Amino acid sequence: MKSILVIGEILVEIMADQTDQSFLEAGSYTGPFASGAPAIFIDQAAKFQVPAAILSAVGDDDFGRLCLTRLAADGVNTNYIKTVQNRATGVAFVRYNSDGSRNFIYHIGNAACGQVTTEDLDGVKWEDLGVFHIMGSSIFTPEMFTLHREALNRIPRDCIISLDPNVRPEILKTSPDLNKLIKELLNKAEILFATEEEMTFLTGTDDVEAALTICFSKGLKAVIVKRGGKGASLFTEERRIDAPGLDVVEIDPTGAGDTFAGAFMAGYLKGWPLEECLTRANTAGASAVGKRGPMEGTIRLEEL
């Protein structure tokens, strides 16, 4: 079977224990948890039994070893993860607010995961690729921008491109060209995952119908709108399929979108009908929020 590739950060996440806990004063935190949006995505894809790889880097430290061990145990191909000596593994601190919003402090651009270069692309077996998934939040420096540009030149002609803009205000600030690239990618992608806010960001309209029309005019085949606890809807030019929100206790919402997309693209690569891709992704997303830790809720096909 062809494989899925994603490029981006592997990091550990350290989570504030209390809602509305401030980053401005000392408090208690839980972690390290294996994390990184593309890492969660690929972990879930591997658990759905498709060949899945991530191009990334970790430091020669225990945080890096924690992530590598975890990904390998879940079946991710770790051949494209290099260990760099002069940088530490990436770290993200996250705190939750009572209005449901989150704040992150990322240590990524200057960490190991920011040290992947276009030379690392030479080691990739491009001919194996069936899906290249682009995680917008992984384009966090000009170098990551160049890396994604170059990867797009190397993927096989028939490789499916899926896009999750995964807009994080903290990252948009440090990567000024990101807006441009993500919008440009709409013309290349076959599958788009987005929240309603991201649809507006991408298309400039908050009218869902109008936004979808713009998406399809750019050549997208399916647009999946994620709605957190309310489930998700899939749109093609001809039809709409809804997956209702599953009744689960939300313990930690971080990583749900990445888990959802990983499950969906694994199914899509396997050739499952769209209904099945959506339903299973919806279940995987619900599983993700039920566990504390961003990657702890990824789920094996047999557990679904």
Closest approach of ligand ATP to the CB of residue 154, in Å:
27
Q: Rule CB under 6 A: is residue 106 a binding residue for ligand ATP?
A: no
Cα gap 247→60, rounded to integer Å: 41
For position 260 contacting ligand ATP by CB under 6 A, the verdict is yes
Residues 204-233 that bind ligand ATP (CB under 6 A): 226-229, 231-232
Which listed residue (248, 276, 291, 301) binds ligand ATP by CB under 6 A?
248
Contact flags string 255-284 toward Mg ion, x per CB under 5 A: --x---------------------------
Q: Is residue 253 a contact point for ligand ATP (CB under 6 A)?
A: yes
Nearer to ligand ATP, 76 or 84 (CB): 76
In angstroms, what is the minimal distance from the CB of 37 to ligand ATP? Answer: 7
Q: Is 250 in the site for ligand ATP (CB under 6 A)?
A: yes
Q: Which stretch binds ligand ATP (CB under 6 A): 77-85, 181-189, 207-215, 252-260?
A: 252-260
Residue from 77, 166, 175, 279 in contact with ligand ATP (CB under 6 A): 166
Stretch that binds Mg ion, among 94-102, 178-186, 252-260, 294-302 (CB under 5 A): 252-260
Residue in 81, 191, 289, 299 binding ligand ATP, rule: CB under 6 A: 289
CB of 288 to ligand ATP, least distance (A): 6
C-alpha distances in angstroms, 125 versus 53, 79, 144, 151, 154? Answer: 10, 11, 19, 12, 10
Mention every residue, 6+ apart, whose C-beta is less than 8 A from residue 154: 121, 124, 126
280 binds ligand ATP (CB under 6 A): no
- Residue 166 touches Mg ion, criterion: CB under 5 A: yes
CA 16/CA 28 separation, integer angstroms: 6
Token output for 118: 């276009």
Least Cα distance to 301 among 90, 47, 3 occurs for 47
Residues 206-245 that bind Mg ion (CB under 5 A): none
**Contacting residues toward ligand ATP, per CB under 6 A:** 166, 195, 226-229, 231-232, 245-246, 248, 250, 253-258, 260, 282, 285-286, 289
